[in-house]
Amino acid sequence: MSDGRALLEVEGLRRVFDVSKPWLNRVIEGHRQQFLHAVDDVSFAIPAGRTFALVGESGSGKSTIARIIVGLIAPSAGTIRFDGADIARIKNPSEMRQIRRRFQMIFQDPYASLNPRMRVADIIAEPIRAFGLLGDTAAVQHRVGELLALVRLDPRDGLKYPHEFSGGQRQRVAIARALAGNPQFLVCDEPTSALDVSVQAQILNLMRDLQEQFGLTYLFISHNLAVVRHMASEVGVLYLGRLVEVATTHELFSAPRHPYTRMLLDAVPDLAMTGRVRTPVQGEIPSPIDRPQGCHFHPRCDVAKDRCRTEAPAARSIGAATVRCHTPLGA
Amino acid sequence: MTETSAAPAPVRTRPSLRERIAAAWDSDIAYSFRHSPVTIVAAVIVLLLLFGAIFGPWIAPQNPFDPGSLNLMEGKTAPLTPNMFTGKTFLLGTDDQGRDVFSTILYGSRVSLFVGFAAVAFSMVLGVTLGLIAGYRGGWLDSVIMRTADIQLTFESLLVALMIFGFTRTLIPPGSQNELAVPVLILAIGLAEWPQYARTVRGVTMVERNKEYVQAARVIGLHPAIIMMRHVLPNVLGPVLVIATLGLALAIIAEATLSFLGVGVPPTQPSLGTLIRVGQEYIVSGEWWILLFPAVTLLALALAVNLLGDWLRDVLNPKLR
């Protein structure tokens, strides 16, 4: 399934939001311009057929990266290459449509991601019609029935409206819509965080089955480490818009290199009841508007040195992992 | 991917008419309607007046604006009193020209309702379109549209309508002023009311555009115009419906006011407002029916439409349920 070739490559991605007050208020009240650094120099590559997970706390920039990749937000800097083609350089609309068809997105909140005034069949048919994949109505209807069966819903459910479904069923509808254009790459922005725990596993297993069946590549965004461990082949840990550690799932969970990764892992509840003492997460993520100097993590880090307070660490490789830390663990 | 599952296509059995009527009868809105006597009375009044306006020419005992059917001898006949010359009785009496007041009301409410509906439709289309664009696009376009609306809202809308009416009339050659009076009136009242729609729609659009279903449509690469029409518009129509209903009462009253002031419809096709203007000249000489019946009709129409609008606002407001 995976041939090692990167389907999606992100390099030096950066996004700065101007959150200043209006010009007139700044002049009168004497405020300076304020910028929110949501994504700061993020690079990663996802091989075809694999799942790359981005984890991090709220405000770490996970969702911004997802939205930049699918084109909802323009990046401030950096390049995104999909199957070797730089997305930002595609000017031809028909070529852009071809690229868009090949990557789709699954959203976090299945209660908001389906238009409440449209029938489910029309919601799923929309990408098919938009990309002009099938001409006649009968073929579109047949395909919609197929997609509903694929996500294990009854094809007759297509006549219903979204409010007639449960959260898990709605997320299945959203997955069916995402698959309607036969994509290769799916951006999944916390696809199960709005669902009941009992339903989460069903949706995750469905996504894994679909990945196997169609050789899909996932960018999987989550704050739930147990989910990430279940889904991902590689994990990137985000902290205040910077990717502090990238490693294979096995490597990351068995030997975390960055103090932040270790802190996150230590805080996970111990369901196996091994008697391990949990260390709660220390402190809170600072504001992305007013970020700490040097390494962003130093105010919460227990191994921080003077150098960490002044100098931002560059990415370096330790074993198979890439870490941004002056004092990595196990080095 | 297509050969993976041979699932049956969704059976497109749209619900039958009887099922749909049953579903509508059971819906929240129908329930609330059935349990609100005031709303039922208001709806009956509006329907009666609509019926009278639409089928007026077939119901009316005479065509009051066909000089051939008028008899000056029958002028100023009191309601339900036989005329002293011809012996004919008129349900609501006659005016000075011998026009049957009941017939003039039927013909007059026709003009009033037509102008009202057309003005509401015009301002709704204009306001909803501009509101959608302002809310969805944002940025400088939003500023331009909404500041224009704000500036216009600082003036009394009737004054704006008067200004637009006066300005437009100067552009029309005197010969065709009477024929174009009704379209100009619709334009004036419609232009005066669009900011209401634009403001509401912009607000709701700004909420909806950040919802994930709109983002999903953007990821598919749909054109912004299609997203606005297919996704945002159906979700902002609830509040628009409420403003449109309340706006209908306003537009009817605005038309009546303009006609009362003598700047509205021409005397050849009088509206309720014109009838009231004509009628008030006779109130001091004792012919009260010429004024009273058109005025009561206008009052009943405006009040009933307003009550319907109020009810609709409460029903569509999830916070009040």
Q: Which of A70, A121, A145 sits opposite B8 (nearest CB)?
A: A145
* Cα B253 from Cα B247, distance rounded (Å): 10
* Cα A135 from Cα B2, distance rounded (Å): 15
How much is the pLDDT for A301? 86
Q: In what order do the strands lie in the sheet with A77-82?
A: A35-47, A6-18, A77-82, A85-86
Residue with tokens 């009339």: B169
Q: Is B75 left (phi over 0), alpha (psi -120 to 50) or beta?
A: beta
Q: Which chain B residues have a beta carbon less than 8 Å from that of A107?
A: 212, 215-216
Task: Provide the shortest C-alpha distance from residue A171 to chain B (in Å).
Answer: 12
Q: Decide if domain A6-232 falls under CATH 3.40.47.10.
A: no
Inter-residue contact A324 to A314 (CB < 8 Å)? yes
CA angle A294, A59, A264 (to 5 degrees): 75
Per cent of chain A over pLDDT 70 is 96
* Cα A84 from Cα A80, distance rounded (Å): 9
B209-262 pLDDT, tens digit each: 888 999 999 988 888 999 999 999 988 888 898 889 888 988 988 888 888 887
pLDDT at A158 over 70: yes
How much is the pLDDT for B299? 92
Per the prediction, chain A carries an average pLDDT of 87
Does B7 contact A181 at a Cβ distance shorter than 8 Å?
no
* Cα A146 from Cα A214, distance rounded (Å): 14
Structural domain spans, chain A: 6-232, 235-331
How much is the pLDDT for B6? 47
How much is the pLDDT for A124? 93
Which pLDDT tens digits describe chain B residue by residue (321 residues)? Answer: 444 444 455 555 566 777 778 777 777 788 888 888 889 999 999 999 999 888 888 888 888 777 777 777 777 777 777 777 777 777 787 777 778 888 888 888 888 899 999 999 999 999 999 999 999 998 899 999 999 999 998 888 888 888 888 888 788 887 777 778 888 888 888 888 899 999 999 999 999 988 899 999 998 888 899 999 999 998 888 889 888 988 898 898 888 888 888 777 777 778 888 888 888 888 888 788 888 888 999 999 999 998 998 888 888 766 555
B16-50 pLDDT, tens digit each: 777 778 777 777 788 888 888 889 999 999 999 99
How much is the pLDDT for A4? 60
Structure tokens at A57: 């706390």
Bridge partners of residue A186, in order along the sequence: A104, A218
Structure tokens at A229: 């461990």
pTM of the model: 0.80
Q: Which of B5, B204, B213, B228 is best to mutate for the A interface (most A CBs within 10 A)?
A: B213
Interface of B with A (CB under 8 A): 1-2, 4-5, 7-13, 211-213, 215-222, 231, 234-235
Q: Which chain A residues have a beta carbon less than 8 Å from that of B215?
A: 67, 72, 105, 107, 113
Inter-residue contact B274 to B108 (CB < 8 Å)? yes
Strands A77-82 and A217-222: unpaired
For residue A1, what pLDDT band results from cuts at 50, 70 and 90?
very low
pLDDT at A22 over 50: yes
Residue of B nearest to A146 (CA): B7
Q: How many CB atoms lie within 10 A of CB A113?
A: 27
Q: Which chain A residues have a beta carbon less than 8 Å from that of B4?
A: 146, 150, 213
Does B219 contact A117 at a Cβ distance shorter than 8 Å?
no
- Fold of the B53-320 domain: MetI-like fold (1.10.3720)
A:B CB pairs within 8 Å: 95
How much is the pLDDT for A149? 92
Task: Provide the shortest C-alpha distance from residue B215 to chain A (in Å).
Answer: 7
How much is the pLDDT for A186? 93
In this complex, is the C-beta atom of A92 within 8 Å of any C-beta atom belonging to chain B?
Answer: no
Per cent of chain A over pLDDT 90 is 33
SS in 3 state form for chain A?
A: CCCCCEEEEEEEEEEEEECCCCHHHHHHHCCCCCEEEEEEEEEEEEECCCEEEEECCCCCCHHHHHHHHCCCCCCCEEEEEECCEEHHHCCCHHHHHHHHHHEEEECCCCCCCCCCCCCHHHHHHHHHHHCCCCCCHHHHHHHHHHHHHHCCCCHHHHHCCHHHCCHHHHHHHHHHHHHCCCCCEEEEECCCCCCCHHHHHHHHHHHHHHHHHHCCEEEEEECCHHHHHHHCCEEEEEECCEEEEEEEHHHHHHCCCCHHHHHHHHCCCCCCCCCCCCCCCCCCCCCCCCCCCCCCCHHHCCCCCHHHHHCCCCCEEECCEEECCCCCCCC
Does A113 contact B216 at a Cβ distance shorter than 8 Å?
yes
Strands A85-86 and A77-82: antiparallel
Query: Which residues numbered 120-159 in A keep a CB inside 8 Å of some CB on B?
Result: 121, 126-127, 130-131, 138, 141-146, 148-150, 155-159
* Cα A190 from Cα A167, distance rounded (Å): 14
The complex's ipTM? 0.85
**Amino acid, res. A11:** E
Q: Which of A130, A142, A155 sits opposite B220 (nearest CB)?
A: A130
Does B2 contact A141 at a Cβ distance shorter than 8 Å?
no
Does B219 contact A115 at a Cβ distance shorter than 8 Å?
no
How much is the pLDDT for A219? 94
How much is the pLDDT for B303? 92
